[in-house]
Amino acid sequence: QKEVEQNSGPLSVPEGAIASLNCTYSDRVSQSFFWYRQYSGKSPELIMSIYSNGDKEDGRFTAQLNKASQYVSLLIRDSQPSDSATYLCAVRMDTGRRALTFGSGTRLQVQP
Amino acid sequence: DAGITQSPRHKVTETGTPVTLRCHQTENHRYMYWYRQDPGHGLRLIHYSYGVKDTDKGEVSDGYSVSRSKTEDFLLTLESATSSQTSVYFCAISETIDSNEQFFGPGTRLTVL
């Protein structure tokens, strides 16, 4: 079992819809959670970080964290074609590691 | 973009040759990381540094070494390149370990023939 799991997709949504991206992680004591967006051929770009249970909103993006279920999600409201990218979930696992563990990413396609 | 550059941006080399990739930052961040990205594997940590001359291994460190003699530079060396090291290499930096928000450089595409 991978430590951070994401559905590879592609997830296809129409323009203007809500895109829901999901991520599960294996280490129950993980503390920090991040969402990165990566356009094809480009480097990952940090778009959201979340550290406590609940929702965190930033513009059209909402990150949701449920530590009991070991689940973190990213909602993108009013999806735009420019949101089409691969979204990477990253987790800092509190096992003495100082780096992040990444999922393989979910490819999102927003259809005009 | 955060002040991170990587050089070279593209490199083609032959099996058995040594290769050094450079990451340079202007943010004065303490922590620096090297990742590789391959289809189906996502980003995997090779090595990281938590200060000048302080480095540690990541999950895929075999065949790689690193050095950090200055805060701003983190070098990744493939002592004897193999075809399995064909990949895209990303450098990342973070200011603190507590938040661990990492910012990535533009990447280096390495092809080993």
- Token pair 């594997």: residue: B41
Residues 6+ apart with CB under 8 A from A46: A34, A35, A36, B101, B102, B103
Res. B95 pLDDT band, cuts 50 70 90: confident
Q: What is the model's pLDDT at position A27?
A: 83
Who among A44, A100, A102 is closest to B100 (CB)? A100
Who among A44, A98, A101 is closest to B97 (CB)? A98
Asked if B48 and B33 count as a contact pair (C-beta separation under 8 A), the reply is yes
Residues A29-47 have a mean pLDDT of 93
Residue A58's alpha-carbon distances to A36, A53, A76, B8, B84, in angstroms, are 14, 16, 10, 35, 40
Name the residue of chain B whose CA is nearest to A91's CA.
Answer: B100
User: What phi and psi, each to the nearest 5 degrees, are found at residue B83?
Assistant: -60, -30
Residues B27-73 have pLDDT tens digits of 999 999 999 999 878 899 999 998 999 999 998 999 999 999 999 99
**pLDDT at residue B1 tops 60:** no
Res. A93 pLDDT band, cuts 50 70 90: confident
CA B49-B85-A89 angle, to 5 degrees, is 60
3-state secondary structure of A81: helix
A104 in contact with B, Cβ within 8 Å: yes
Asked if A75 and A61 count as a contact pair (C-beta separation under 8 A), the reply is yes
Asked if B34 and B46 count as a contact pair (C-beta separation under 8 A), the reply is yes
- Cross-chain residue pair B41–A104, CB shorter than 8 Å: yes
Considering only CB atoms, which chain B residues are within 8 Å of A99? 33, 45, 48, 58, 100
A107 in contact with B, Cβ within 8 Å: no
B104 in contact with A, Cβ within 8 Å: yes
Question: Which is more confident, B100 or A89?
Answer: A89
**pLDDT at residue A25 tops 90:** yes
CA A53-A54-A58 angle, to 5 degrees, is 120
Res. A34 pLDDT band, cuts 50 70 90: very high
* Distance of alpha carbon A43 from alpha carbon A62, whole angstroms: 22
Q: What is the model's pLDDT at position A38?
A: 97
Residues A76-105 have a mean pLDDT of 88
Closest CA to A100 of A46, A20, A56: A46
**What is the percent of chain B where pLDDT is above 90?**
83
**pLDDT at residue A106 tops 70:** yes
Q: What is the model's pLDDT at position B98?
A: 65
B-contacting residues in A 8-47 (Cβ below 8 Å): 32, 34, 42-46
Strand pairing category for B10-13 and B108-112: parallel
Res. B3 pLDDT band, cuts 50 70 90: very high
